[in-house]
Structures are given as C-alpha cells and as structure tokens.
Amino acid sequence: MKLFIQFILALLVSVPMWGQVAAEAPTTTDTTITKYSPVANSLLWAITGKELTDTSYLYGTIHMIGKEDYFLTEQTKKAFNESEKIVFEINMENMNDMMSQFGLLMKAFMNDGKTLKDFLNEEEYTEVKAHFEEKGITSFLWNMMERIKPMFLSMFASTDLSGGNPMASEDIVSYEMEFMEMAKEQEKPMDGLETAEYQISVFDSIPYDAQAQMLLQSIRAEIDTTAIDELEVLATLYKNQDINGMITMFAEDTEGIGKYEEFLLLNRNRNWIPVMEGMMGQQATFFGVGAGHLAGEEGVVNLLKKEGYTLTPLKDKTVLQRL
C-alpha cells in the first residue's frame, strides 16, 4: 500500500501547467476599449495595494524539474523569508496524514471499477502495458495502476518507475517539496488554495476515453525520436522565467488538453482569488502555484490586478541556491 501512496503524493504535485493564450476580449469603459496586454515575464511577483498592510508574494513553480535545472534566486529566498505564511495549491502538510492519503488513493481510481482495458483496443492496451513494464512496473503493480485515471498515468510515461516513487529520484526536484522543507525549518504555517480531493476530481471533467488516448499519444511521442522534447522545452522556458511562452506552448495543443482549460486552469484561477485575498489580508503570504497559472487574461496576476491589487514583477537572475 505504501508504494501506491507514494504515487498519489507524487501526482498531487505533478498536475501539469496546462493553459491556452486567452483571446484578447475587449473590456468596455466609459470612453475607451482596453485590451489585455501580456504580463511581464517573471516568476516572482510582489502583491501590494488595496489596503494590504504587508506585502505578499506570488511565485510560479514547476512541479517537477531536473535537478540540474533547479534554481532559486536571491530575491525569491528573501520574499520567502519575509513572508509569515506559505501557501501552495494544496496544503502539503496534509499529505502526512495516513487517512487522507488513503482517501486520495481511492479518488485517483476510475469510477465504476473501470480499467484501462475498457478504453483502449487490445493492441493499444498491450502497447501501453509493455511501455510501463519497460519503466519498471511489475505485473502485480500494473493490476492496480491500470485502474488509475489515465491522465495520471500519462504524467509518468517518460519516468523510470522501478524505484516506486518518481519524486524520490535524486534527479528530480519539486519546488513545492523544497518550499515545504524551508517552511518547516523556519516554522512557518502552511495552507492550500484548494483541497487535494478537489484537485484530483478536476480530472473527471475529461472523459476517460479521451484521457486514455492522451496517455497513448504521450507514450508514442516519447518513442518518436523526431518529436520535440516538450519537457525539455518547458524547462528552458521556466529557467528563462518566460511565463507567457508557457501558455503559448500549451495553446498549441488544440486537440488535446487545451480543450479542457476551463476546468483545469481558468476555473481554478478564479476560485483562488477570494481565497488569496482572505489570506494576505491577514498576514504576509508567499503563494507558490504552478507557473502556468500566472500569465494570460485570466491568469492569477491579471485577476488580482482586476481586483485592485498592484502586482510588481521581481525578476532576479542572481541565483542563490542550486541543488
């Protein structure tokens, strides 16, 4: 059971930063028409104004990145140290509770006892199973994994799973995990903008058959030597703090996950704003969310601006920490 719990814990910090470039829908004022302009390319933003007594911060994370690509700037470390509370998409501290872990594991499975076999033909199913066996999944473990929602499995299509928990690899780093350890060391309280149960349930907005095809395509893309390594491209964009480039990249997937951005990205961004307002109205807060949530007309930066806050980009290339 512990092995499966590790998978779910990894999944919760592995929700990809999906999104599309939002259309520039005009907003009419008394005398002018204002169009959305792309925000500055910066991972770190200071949040002030609207009667806030203390500065809060918004930081765009990448949920899983190669150790050699991980970096933390001096400005980010300073913002973290100055904040009284650390907030993630979900409260990472809750992941230590065994009952919570078990409940999340159950929600990761498809409803009505469905398995991957129900959504792929025999040839496709054999192809997917063989791929995961090559990644180190045993037949016993596969009997459990094929019941997991296919979109979760696609996250690990290119990961060596022989060790059981991809997050345990010395070559993979999670910003959320790093920030959580920093918060523990500084004895800072932690919280989440949404529950882990809700985050997992979001996947139910995508039909299982569509998820299964996305899984199949992700596996075939890995095998295709002529295909662009999207994870490598994403890592480069992240290191360049190109948050606008990220949403442009995801916009190109018009036949895949992009069709579901309303459920996976935009609704969540909107839901977070009142929660963020309540938290930073009480104390200086450091918000760490996927960088794909920052830019765009309905990205978190612009939504906070619409609520009357001042968002100031704090782009600093001075690297304070590498692993």
Question: What are 302's two structure tokens?
Answer: 């612009």
Span 215-241, pLDDT tens digits: 998 888 777 655 556 778 888 999 999
Beta-carbon contacts of 61 under 8 Å, excluding residues fewer than 6 positions away, are 175, 176, 179, 288, 289, 290, 291
Q: Which residue has the higher pLDDT, 3 or 113?
A: 113
Domain ranges, residue 210:
2-321
Band (pLDDT 50/70/90 cuts) for residue 199 is confident
For range 69-76, the mean pLDDT: 93
Q: How many CB atoms lie within 10 A of CB 169?
A: 16
Under 8 Å between Cβ of 149 and 203 = yes
Average pLDDT over residues 292-304: 94
Whether residue 45 contacts residue 123, with contact meaning beta carbons closer than 8 Å, is answered with: no
* Percentage of the residues of the chain whose pLDDT score is greater than 70: 75
Strand, coil or helix: 151: helix
Task: Check: CB of residue 285 under 8 Å from CB of residue 275.
Answer: no
Q: Give the model's pLDDT for residue 163.
A: 54
Tally of domains in the chain: 1
